[in-house]
Amino acid sequence: MSILRPFRATDLFSFNNINLDYWTETYSLSFYQSYLATWPELCVVAEHPSSTLMGYVIGKVEGRGTDYHGHVTALSISPSHRRINLATVLMDVLERVSDEMHKGWFVDLFVRLSNATAIGMYKRLGYSVFRRVVGYYGDDEDAYGEHAPLMA
Partner 1 sequence: MSGRALLESRRVRPIYDALDSGAYRSAAATAQKLLKSQPDYPLVQALLCVALIRSGRASEARPVALKVAAKRPAEASVLGALQMALVDLRLFDEIAKLYKDLWDRSKGTNEEFGAHAVMGFARVKDWKALQAVALKMHKAHNEGNYLWWGIAGLYLQAINSPEAQRSLLLTLPSRLISSQPSQTLHPERLHLHLRILLAQVPPDAPADHASLTEARQVLGKEGVAEVVKTSLALQEIRREVLERAKRWDELREDAVKELEAGSVNYANHLSLISALQHLSSEEATSSARSLFEARVAAVPLERGHLLAQLELERVLPSSPSDPTRLHELINAYFKAFGTKPVCYEDLRPYLAHLLDAQQPVAPILEHFRAVFAGESPTLQTIINAHKLLRFAEGVRTAEEESEKAEVFMKLHAEGLPHGKNLPETELQPADDLAVLAGLALISAWSTSHDVKYLHRALVHLESALAQSTPSYRLKILLIRIYRLLAAPSPVFAHSGSLRIQNIQQDTLSHFALSRASIFSTAADGDHSIFLAFPSLGNGGIWGMGEKENAEMIVKAYHKEAYSQLEDFISFADRIANSLQRHLALLELRKLDLSDGAVSDNRDYSLIPEWQAHGVSVDAQTDMGTKQAGHWLRAFALIYKGVLGASLGSTQVADNETAVEAFKTELTPQEAALFDFAHVLVQFNAATDDEARKSTVQAAAVFFKELEREYENATSEKSVALPWEALHIAQTAFEANALLELAVPAPSANKKKKGKAPSAPLFDVARSTLLKISEPPATALAVEGKFKADCGDLNAELVQTVGKGLQDARRKIWEGVKEGASRRFGTGGGA
Question: CA separation (Å) from 75 to 12, 64, 120, 152?
Answer: 15, 24, 14, 23
- Give the span between the Cα atoms of 67 and 27, in whole angstroms: 27
Query: Minimum distance between the CB of residue 34 and partner 1, rounded to whole angstroms?
Result: 7
Site for partner 1 in 32-51 (CB under 8 A): 33-34, 36-38, 40-41, 44, 48-50
Binding part of the chain for partner 1, among 64-72, 91-99, 131-139, 141-149 by CB under 8 A, reads 91-99
Which among 46, 29, 148, 36 is positioned nearest to 89, based on CA atoms?
46
Does position 139 interact with partner 1 (CB under 8 A)? The reply is: no
Angle at 35 between CA 121 and CA 41, to 5 degrees: 75
> 3-state class of 33 per DSSP?
helix
CB of 75 to partner 1, least distance (A): 16
- Note whether 80 binds partner 1 by CB under 8 A: yes
C-alpha 93/C-alpha 7 separation (Å) is 13
Using CB under 8 A, list all residues that contact partner 1: 1-6, 8-10, 12-14, 16-17, 19-23, 25-30, 33-34, 36-38, 40-41, 44, 48-50, 52, 54, 79-85, 89, 93, 96-97, 100-101, 116-117
